[in-house]
């Protein structure tokens, strides 16, 4: 099972490939639906990635009807709005479509951001 802490460490080690580690975690969490994957806090280093990971973990817990660990609530919002797509013409759509767990931390994604084939 892939943990959120391991995912953060992989992203920190290879930021260029953050999406690979990120979506490996998402897929693995959905497969196992086990709170152990999000039970251990990670070191806060990058406010955007920290906010994205916390929002994603809470979203996945909600989706699986699991109670998210309390430590996730302590992860602050990104200092600046973080538009994950990075595309200027998708910003308005992301503002409207972002799930609440992401908007709370100023992370903006499309509504299908975590959908996987």
Q: pLDDT digits over 7-62, tens only? A: 999 999 999 999 999 999 999 999 999 999 999 999 999 999 999 999 999 999 99
**The tokens 């994205």 sit on which residue?**
52
Taking the domains of the chain in order of start, what are their residue ranges?
Answer: 4-79
pLDDT tens readout for residues 47-90: 999 999 999 999 999 999 999 999 999 999 999 999 999 899 99
Contacts of 43 (CB under 8 A, 6+ apart): 8
**Residue of 41, 65, 64, 35 lying closest to 53 (CA atoms):** 41
For residue 116, pLDDT over 90 is answered with no
The predicted pLDDT at position 49 comes to: 98
Q: Give the mean pLDDT of the chain.
A: 97
pTM of the model: 0.95
Give the CA count within 13 Å in the CB-facing half-sphere of 44.
12
């Amino acid at each position: 099972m892939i943990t959120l802490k391991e995912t953060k460490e992989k992203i920190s080690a290879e930021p260029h490939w953050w999406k690979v580690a990120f979506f490996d975690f998402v897929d693995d969490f959905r497969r196992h639906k086990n709170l152990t994957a999000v039970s251990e806090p990670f070191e806060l280093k990058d406010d955007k990635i920290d906010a994205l990971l916390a929002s994603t973990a809470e979203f996945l817990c909600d989706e699986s009807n699991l109670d998210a660990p309390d430590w996730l609530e302590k992860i602050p919002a990104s200092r600046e709005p973080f538009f994950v797509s990075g595309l200027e013409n998708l910003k308005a759509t992301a503002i409207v479509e972002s799930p609440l767990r992401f908007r709370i931390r100023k992370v903006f994604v499309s509504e299908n951001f975590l959908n996987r084939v």
